[in-house]
């Protein structure tokens, strides 16, 4: 049975991304409970800017939002792993960055459709793995599939489907709430990153 060594992750955020940083920490906590040992801690970008010890440490750091350090990190990425719907992220070594820009309502609905398809697919895979009763740490992919079950559960209740955009995020019959679109855009981004790329970034596949 594969055992993974615990690794630390510092999530550097600003005021605009504090909520999504907390959401990401919750997702990682669920994954840790499933057996993936990540110790995640939040840090405001102003605190990080003055923290030489953290800057010089070798632990993984994710810059979440639009601020000087994240812009430098995103420019230094070898290649972006996601660049759609106003969301950009990638990493280089121990430094990852995720930035955002506002998108119009039609692009948000396209994001909603994309999210619904992606998370619904993962949910079906999880059910298949659970039905087979596979040991999540017997094979890495099986393990990851179980761990992201928490992410699917967290994302689908508020749902990012187009139907949810009508029922959950409409402040009136004609207009989507801009703040809620921003929140859901960020929630999707960190959940998708957790589902598709967190294990690779943290280096678990290399163990």
Q: 93 or 158: which carries more pLDDT confidence?
A: 93
Residue 30 has φ and ψ, to the nearest 5°, of -65, -40
The verdict on 84 and 156 lying in the same domain is no
Per-residue pLDDT reduced to its tens digit, 95-127: 999 999 999 988 888 887 788 777 766 555 445
The verdict on 98 and 167 lying in the same domain is no
Q: How many domains does the chain have?
A: 2
Per-residue pLDDT reduced to its tens digit, 47-73: 999 998 888 888 899 999 999 999 999
The verdict on 87 and 149 lying in the same domain is no
Show which of 52, 71, 103 is a domain's final residue: 103
Asked if residue 200 belongs to a domain, the reply is: no
The verdict on 117 and 136 lying in the same domain is yes
Calculate the average pLDDT of the chain.
76
Q: 204 or 183: which carries more pLDDT confidence?
A: 183
pLDDT higher than 60, residue 171? no
Per-residue pLDDT reduced to its tens digit, 122-157: 555 445 444 444 433 344 444 454 445 555 555 443
pLDDT higher than 70, residue 164? no
Show which of 68, 103, 138 is a domain's final residue: 103
C-alpha span between 201 and 205 (Å, rounded): 9
The verdict on 95 and 145 lying in the same domain is no
Rg of the chain on CA atoms, in Å: 17
Write out the chain in H/E/C secondary structure: CCCCCCEEEEEEECHHHHHHHHHHHHHHHHHHHCCCCEEEEEEEHHHHHCCHHHHHCCCEEEEECCCHHHHHHHHCCCCEEEEECCEEEEEECCEEEEEECCCCHHHHHHHHHHHHHHHHHHHHHHHHHHHHCCCCCCCHHHHHHHHCHHHHHHHCCCCCCHHHHHHCCECCCCCECHHHHHHHHHHHHHHHHHHHCHHHHHCHHHC
Show which of 49, 84, 103 is a domain's final residue: 103
Asked if residue 186 belongs to a domain, the reply is: yes
Domain of 86, in residue numbers = 7-103
Asked if residue 109 belongs to a domain, the reply is: yes
């Amino acid at each position: 049975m594969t055992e993974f060594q615990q690794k630390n992750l510092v999530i550097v955020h600003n005021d605009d991304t504090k909520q999504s940083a907390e959401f990401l920490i919750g997702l990682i906590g669920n994954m840790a409970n499933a057996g993936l040992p990540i110790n995640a801690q939040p840090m405001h970008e102003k605190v990080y800017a003055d923290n030489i010890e953290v800057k010089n440490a070798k632990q993984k750091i994710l810059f979440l939002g639009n601020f000087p350090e994240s812009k430098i990190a995103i420019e230094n990425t070898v290649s972006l792993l996601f660049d759609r719907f106003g969301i950009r992220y990638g990493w280089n070594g121990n430094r990852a960055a995720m930035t955002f820009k506002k998108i119009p309502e039609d692009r948000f609905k396209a994001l909603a459709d994309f999210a619904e398809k992606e998370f619904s697919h993962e949910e079906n895979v999880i059910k298949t793995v659970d039905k087979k009763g596979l040991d999540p740490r017997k094979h890495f992919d099986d393990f990851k599939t179980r761990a992201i079950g928490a992410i699917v559960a967290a994302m689908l209740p508020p749902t990012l489907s187009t139907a949810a955009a009508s029922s959950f995020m409409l402040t009136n019959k004609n207009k989507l709430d801009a703040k809620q679109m921003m929140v859901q855009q960020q929630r999707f981004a960190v959940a998708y990153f957790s589902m598709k790329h967190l294990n690779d970034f943290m280096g678990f596949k290399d163990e």
